[in-house]
Amino acid sequence: MKTVYTCFCTDIIHDGHLNIIKQARKYGRVIVGALSDAALIRYNKFPTLSFEERKKLYETLDGVEQVVIQDSVMYDDVMEKLHPDYVVHGDNWKEGPESAIRDNVLKCIETYGGELIEVKYTYSPVVKKIDSQLKEKLAMPEYRRKRLRQLLQIRPIVKAIEVHSGITGLIAEKTVIEHYGELDQFDAMWISSLCDSTVKGKPDIELVDMTSRFRTIDDVTEVTTKPIIFDGDTGGMTEHFVYTVRTLERMGVSAIIIEDKTGLKKNSLFGTEVTQTQDSIENFSAKISAGKMAQLTDDFMIIARIESLILERGMEDAFKRAYAFVKAGADGIMIHSRKEDPGEILEFCDIFRRDNRDTPLVVVPSSFNTITEEELAEHGVNLVIYANQLTRSAFPAMQKTAEDILRYHRAKEVDDRLMPIKQIITLIDEL
Ligand code: SPV
Ligand code: MG
């Protein structure tokens, strides 16, 4: 009897999947691949059922003889093991980054003479509704909030990109590329105080109030599902910070990062060019502990950001603070630097990791931008934040357009570098 292989990456079975099995059965005994959690999240999906639950769900389906784990979105390993006579897949993967998976399947089956069968994808209103319900579920606070902790368990390094609006949120949510035969995307979003202030035309000095910052989060959460890390600046007064923690938690934010500065906060990338005051270890530890006491779920994370290297107080001071803040309850440590050379960051991470293997380490490589995510992961970094690149890419593009329209007294000369009108009016999906 011939074997037919198909891979599922869903928590809910709908008519589309049943149709795939029905078609597959015509060719032989059906083996379903269940994508592992780690593979699933590479695929712009996030599990709401455990792997075991998904496996059981697929096993109950009529016509499925066996369910096996597929550890990667690419089929090489599973094809090598099973050598199925046929691979069955919906025909909705010919365009976009998913076409890399299709190419991979074609390459695999060619090596032993298998065949790819593409079944017309079912786009019924019910299937569409189930797909969007699954997405909506991921956007709910209780799912979104815990997702950062889950990602830190699954991913070798979690990567977050700065967002400050619905549109930048959509970029973080939907940008997927194919890279060296793998799909890649951002795992999380960073609501930067610098960028949230800059887009409002304000300096980054804790001037944009919390209500406004929450409004930005709301704009982002309305159109996305990925977890949010909030730049909480100094956290403000401890008496206020506890309320901020509660609000963020309720909104489904996964983490707040607060920096150990006090008084008028200036952006860290100014370093010692401006006056900035570091908080005492005692005060800042008390703030962390108060925040931890205030939070209601186990999902939410309070990450302590150490400014000792920024303020040139030395490595010893940074360590003293790191150990004290972890003791005070911090769920992670962010170490910051404005040097172009990542040396001091790596030194901190290496030494910190010698006797602390678990506390997540966070870095923001805006200045030390030559280092790769892989190198950072080798030094024990768990979360990398690209803190301002979307804003910094948009601003010069917009400014150049404005200058050129002034220069030519018309918009024709700038049009070639703009998104076509057809594309902008259809960019945002309607319900
Ligand atoms: C931000 O993005 O607002 C940050 C990171 O706090 S940095 O600008 O590098 O200080
Ligand atoms: Mg900031």
Low pLDDT (below 70) residues in the chain: none
- For residues 357 and 355, what is the distance between their CA atoms, to the nearest angstrom? 6
Q: What is the location of CATH 3.40.50.620 in the chain?
A: 3-129
Cβ(269) – ligand 1 distance below 6 Å: yes
Residue 45: predicted pLDDT: 83
Tokens 């005692």 belong to which residue?
282
Give catalytic status of residue 204 as yes or no. Answer: yes
CATH superfamily of 3-129: HUPs (3.40.50.620)
Q: What is the distance of C-alpha 316 from the center of its chain?
A: 32
Q: What is the location of CATH 3.20.20.60 in the chain?
A: 141-387
CA 206 to ligand 1 centroid distance, Å: 12
Record the tokens describing residue 350, joined without a space.
């290496």
C-alpha closest to that of 246 among 145, 160, 353: 145
CA 385 to ligand 1 centroid distance, Å: 9
Residue 41: predicted pLDDT: 87
Helix H segments across 60-209? 76-82, 99-112, 125-139, 141-154, 166-174, 193-198
Residue 298: predicted pLDDT: 97
The CATH T-level fold of domain 141-387 is: TIM Barrel (3.20.20)
CB atoms near residue 271 (< 10 Å): 18
DSSP-assigned beta bridge partners for residue 35: 70
CA 33 to ligand 1 centroid distance, Å: 42
Cβ(100) – ligand 1 distance below 6 Å: no
Full-model pTM: 0.94
Residue nearest to atom 5 of ligand 1 (CA): 387
The one catalytic residue among 11, 85, 204, 231:
204
Record the tokens describing residue 3, joined without a space.
């074997």
Cβ(194) – ligand 1 distance below 6 Å: yes
Residue 127: predicted pLDDT: 86
